[in-house]
Amino acid sequence: MKRNHKQILASAGEKKAADYLLSCGYTVLCTNFYTRQGEVDIIVEKDQHLVFVEVKTRSFFSVESAAESVNYHKQRRVSLAALEYYNQNPKFENYECRFDVIIVLYDRKDETYSIKHFIDAFLPIL
């Protein structure tokens, strides 16, 4: 199946976000963790924190529209998937847990990416 422009952009954004997190000292545990209830784009850990990261990539400079797309419904789906990951990995039971959002903005003119990282962006919705 041929991937469309949105899928290619989203995949590139998730890769850029993962690279950014690695450069900040995080360890990437998992990408695209799927469950029946939802998905988590990137799961990382650092300093006894288990972090579930939602990535939004846009080809225009609108942080607001990207942030708004992480609405209640999306937060709930990410939260449920995170709970499943947590339950499957008891070694993290003593870790603090948080939910971050990374917005990756792609500038078509000069083919560059910029990253906005929102730490502790939302509380879990279960």
119: helix, strand or coil: strand
- Residue ranges of the domains in the chain? 5-122
CATH topology of domain 5-122: Trna Endonuclease; Chain: A, domain 1 (3.40.1350)
Cβ contact 100:82 at 8 Å: no
Cβ contact 104:9 at 8 Å: no
Taking only the tens of pLDDT, the chain with its 126 residues reads: 446 677 877 888 899 999 999 999 999 999 999 999 999 999 999 999 999 999 998 877 666 666 777 899 999 999 999 999 999 999 999 999 999 999 998 888 888 888 999 999 999 998
